[in-house]
Structure 1
Amino acid sequence: MRVITLSVLACVLVTLLGAEGFHCNDIYNCQPGYSLASNNVPHCYKLIQKQMGWTDALNYCQKEGGTLAGAHSINEYQLLLSMVKKTQDISAYAWVGLNDLDEEGKYVWTDGSNADFSWSKSAIEQQYGEEDCVALNSYKGAEGFDDIKCNSDCTFICMTMAENA
């Protein structure tokens, strides 16, 4: 973790100093099939076009060494939304690592952090009490996080930590 933190700091410093031709992506690698986030965050993402329930999707991502994707900033949210829009012909919903399984209305990410939507216009679309798992809805005009039943079949996005190059 310390190495990644130092790499991020080095990346930010070099970027601020304006090193020509240098990209933060040059210092990170993702495992095959994963793409590096474009916002200089050392996370790699992969859209899985299989449909399954939230728990099965989480287990799938964990077997790949990661977890369901999280969005802790507007940049990460926009990146995830753009990924989901590419598969609207399969499903307009994709699971992310957000849920309120432990306490109704208290959303947490699978990494244990609380949901912070200070960057979001609207938090989570809540319609019914038995919907505890969150998917990203890519329908035009209704885009955003939506809590739906955990056993619903959706595509999903896995996230892993990038490795140093």
Structure 2
Amino acid sequence: MQYLMCMLVILPYVGGGPVHPRTEKSCIAMHTFQNTYDVLKAKLFDINAEMSLLKDDLDNAIEQTCGVLGTLGTGNTHLYQLTYCNFEEKDDDDECTFRPEHFVINQDVSDHTFGSTLGHVYTYTPYYYSGSKLTSVKMFQPANAYCIRFYFKLQAAAAGSIKLYLQVGEHPGYAFHTIPATSLPAEKWILAEASPDQEYLQQPFKIILENSIRTIIYIDDIMVYNARCDTDGIRSPVCPFGSFTRKEGTNLSCYTFHPEPLMYVDAIKSCKRVWPDASLLQIESAEEQTYITYQINKSRAMTYAADFGIWIGGNDVDTEHKFVWIGNENPIPFNYTNWHQGQPNNMNGDQDCVMLQYRTNNNDYEWGDVGCAEKHSFICEMTYDVSHASSHQYPNTVIG
């Protein structure tokens, strides 16, 4: 058997005469291959790095959703079903559609979801009508317990009440819970909470909120859980796997990183799906800035995302150059800043939202303002007072 061996021998070119056309063509081909090889090598290196980051994100997602090694963790926050309606978007399957009577959707006032005119709120103005009503389109299924929570705000002190009904069949029957307006504060968001008796929960039902308070009233963030109100994760959050926590005084903050790039408003909505009272990250001190920077620098996924910017919860949408933290019931003015030199600059007149944008030589991340329609990764924050956690009694809460 004969073997044919093909060998390419490259001899150094010795100057002194013209390059043979055939040799010149070979050299061009070899240089082209060398450049292609270098480009492919760089691309493969980038792909390998991307795959490592994706693997880290997958591991974190599995832990957050399923617990360690894929088992259901004890801190899982989805041991109940939550129907959370913030009236920011229509749901095609009527999950969060309420049929209004004399209520209208309003974006001219600050809502509870965002604490800003970025959001929407149901408003009743008692000029011509003696009352108003919201009725769920969704039929809620029987369960051993239900917890119904929502926020409302009165423009002024007034007489009247809010009544809650569970409608089984065609008729609502009597109200199972009444919130009298007597002694309720004006111009403050109030959290209402009610737990129907189990007799109401044996058949599918609709929820009706009936209002007879004779002042302008706002209603937002209706939350319906098929669990008792004292279940972990309802009145106070359960930090998911993969989150990191920080305590200051009696306040505990739980932070979750979300690698998927979203627009600013959509990022806030995503935080609310973790816990309805969550917000985008609010950095209110140099100590918190240092803590967040440390967490970013020790995570490959967050460090990679930070190269493209990470949303935090500040903006000046409502009043130009007056930056506030939003995502809570009331905007919080900046009392600490970490702006990059020359920032904020509102370039092109449409940069209203804040992100961690500029990495410094000491691995800090300084702030910049950008357009709110840009898409970036983000960090959510859930902060609550642990001194209230045992009793679950919070200020401005009406519990029934």
TM-score by length of 2: 0.31
Looking at structure 1, the residues matched to 338 and 255 of structure 2 have their Cα atoms a distance apart, in angstroms, of 21
**Contact 1:81–1:138 (CA<8 Å) still a contact in 2?**
no
Of the three residues 325, 329, 334, the one matched with 1:115 is 334
Q: Distance in 2 between matches of 1:120 and 1:152?
A: 21
Give the unaligned 5+ runs of structure 1. Answer: 1-27
Runs of 5+ in structure 2 lacking a partner? 1-235, 391-400
- Report runs of 4+ in structure 1 exceeding 3 Å deviation: 38-41, 83-86, 119-124, 162-165
1:135 aligns with 2:347: no
- Say if 1:83 and 1:149 are closer, same or farther in 2 by CA, change over 3 A: farther
Superposition CA RMSD, Å = 2.7
Cα offset, 1:116, TM superposition: 1.1
| C-alpha contact 1:81 1:136 (8 A) present in aligned 2 | no
Deviation string for 1:130-161 (max 9, x for gaps)?
10000012523483111111111111010012
Q: 1:81 aligns with which of 288, 293, 306?
A: 293
Give the 3 Å change call, closer, same or farther, for CA 48–104 of structure 1 in structure 2. Answer: same
Answer whether contact 1:124 1:147 (CA < 8 A) is retained: no
For residues 12-52 of structure 1, what are the alpha-carbon distances to aligned partners after superposition, in whole Å with 9 as ceiling and x for unaligned? Answer: xxxxxxxxxxxxxxxx9842132211555411111111111
The secondary structure found in structure 1 opposite 2:283 is coil
Verify: 1:95 aligned to 2:307, yes or no. Answer: no
CA deviation string 1:87-145 (max 9, x = no partner): 2323421111100001110001013110112x757688223131000001252348311
SS in 2 for 1:37: strand
| 1:62-105 alpha-carbon deviations (Å, 9 max, x no partner) | 12111101011111112222334432323421111100001110
In structure 2, the CA distance between the partners of 1:155 and 1:84, relative to structure 1 (3 Å rule), is farther
Are residues 1:154 and 2:376 paired? Answer: yes
SS of corresponding position for 1:131: coil
Q: 2:244 aligned with 1:35, yes or no?
A: yes
| Cα contact 1:125–1:145 (8 A) shared by 2 | yes
How many pairs does the alignment contain? 137
Partner of 1:145: 367
Matches of 1:36 and 1:84, distance apart in 2: 13
Matched with 2:259 is: 49
Identity of aligned residues (%): 20
SS at the partner of 2:269? Answer: helix
Higher RCO by CA contacts (8 Å cutoff, separation 6 or greater): 1
Matching residue of 1:126: 344
Going from structure 1 to structure 2, the CA distance change for 1:130 and 1:42 (only over 3 Å counts) comes to same
Counterpart of 2:274 in structure 1 is 64
